[in-house]
Amino acid sequence: MATARRVGTETSKTRAQMLDAVERLMVDKGYAAITYRAVAAEVGVTSGNVQYYFPTLDDLLVATIRRRTDQSLDRLLNMLQARPNQPLRVLWEFSNDETVAALTMELSALGHHRPSVSAEIRNHTRRLRDVQLAALAAAPHVNRDDAVPAPARLFLLSGIPKLVRMEEDFDVDTGHAEIVALVEAYLDTVEPAAAAPRAPGRRTRR
């Protein structure tokens, strides 16, 4: 606070490795395993070095989340720009690609006990949702049918992949194939895939 402690630059390669280590540890051993010593051991530096870049654990956690969510938002914006006439399909594929259930779960759980983490997640979720809503609003064909309001459609398109991944982690898959088929049939009707052919290397998972 009052003490003007020195902090490493954001462009440091070592710093980036530390953030990578945090993500790995989070997925492999859970949020409780994120300690200066554990991160340092992963990267192969001293714990003091980690502290040099991240004076408090909150700094380390928030930086990890921010880096990932910034990347994520950029990716969505690029996808939307590349296929402006297929917002629903883009949102669906984005949510399917993006969802790393284990990491999401750890961060959500951690958010309940770390206000700084909670604020970061809230902030990102809202920015993301605003972009998504704007994309839907800009597409005329989306609002033709009022049976399902746009916000509800967004809720389902981004939420279903999340649920599916969560259940998959516990080897439960009841209704997964059916619900995915339903959504994709709906997308075929509203946004025919042929309208803007996707690149051959397309992937919808991970």
Partner DNA sequence: GTCTATACGGCGATAGAC
Partner DNA sequence: GTCTATCGCCGTATAGAC
Kindly write out the interface string for residues 33-62 of this chain, putting x where it contacts a copy of itself by CB under 8 A and - elsewhere. Answer: ------------------------------
Q: Are 127 and 73 in contact (CB under 8 A)?
A: yes
User: Shortest approach of a copy of itself to residue 110 CB, angstroms?
Assistant: 7
**CA–CA separation, 48 and 54 (whole Å):** 10
- By CB under 8 A, name the one of 84, 115, 151, 192 that touches a copy of itself: 151
Residue 167: CB partners within 8 Å, gap ≥ 6? 173, 174, 176
Q: Which of residues 42 and 98 has its CB atom nearest to DNA in the complex?
A: 42
**Which of positions 20-39 make contact with DNA (CB under 7 A)?**
34-38
**Count, residues in the chain:** 206
Of 104, 110, 111, 107, nearest in space to 166 by CA: 104
Residue 136: CB partners within 8 Å, gap ≥ 6? 87, 88, 91, 142, 143, 150, 153, 154
Number of residues binding to DNA, judged by CB under 7 A: 24
190 binds, among DNA, a copy of itself, none (CB under 5 to 8 A by kind): none
**CA–CA separation, 84 and 90 (whole Å):** 9
Q: Are 79 and 181 in contact (CB under 8 A)?
A: no
133 binds, among DNA, a copy of itself, none (CB under 5 to 8 A by kind): a copy of itself
Binding region for DNA (CB under 7 A): 3, 5-6, 8-9, 12, 14, 34-38, 45-49, 51-53, 55-58
Binding region for a copy of itself (CB under 8 A): 27-32, 102, 105-106, 108-113, 118, 121-122, 125-126, 129, 133, 148-149, 151-156, 159-160, 162-163, 166-167, 169-172, 174-176, 178-179, 182
